[in-house]
Amino acid sequence: MACGVGARLDYCRGIIVLAGSDVDRAGAAGQATVPDTWRRNRQERDGDSFHVTVLSKPDLQQLADGIRDSSLRWPEGAVPPVAEDPASIAKAVAVLIASMPGALLWMDLGGGRPI
């Protein structure tokens, strides 16, 4: 799911993430301010790469529910993804996002926290 030189949308471990060299660079730059325990936990969970979660598992489930019950309006001319296939939903979302000019422009504002 390519979306830029140093950033791309990926579907991994059931979520859609923004990943790539720009995200890795920003993540590595902020490591000095992160407690050791948090760094180790992130490393064990995610490996060497960093990411920004775009859509979580519950977000994707909500999209699937909307596709199933037809309450989610899909853009005209676009083929809706298969509700039972999260990878299909992820790919369709990536196509929609990529079609929006500047949709993946971002900047590092410092350390964030999960919500």
Question: How far, in whole angstroms, is CA 5 from its chain's centroid?
Answer: 16
Task: Identify which of 8, 32, 1 has the alpha carbon closest to the alpha carbon of residue 106.
Answer: 8
Residue numbers of the domain that contains 35: 8-98
Number of alpha carbons in the 13 Å side-chain half-sphere of residue 30:
19
Q: Is 110 inside a domain boundary?
A: no
Number of domains in the chain: 1
* pLDDT value at 2 more than 50: no
Note whether residue 68 is domain-resident: yes
Per-residue pLDDT tens digits for 24-64: 988 888 888 889 999 999 999 888 889 988 889 999 999 99
Tens-digit pLDDT profile for residues 82-97: 999 988 888 888 888 8
Q: Is residue 3 part of a domain?
A: no
Tokens found for residue 6: 């140093």
Which residues are within 8 A (CB) of 33 and not within 5 positions of it... i.e. 6 or more apart? 110, 111
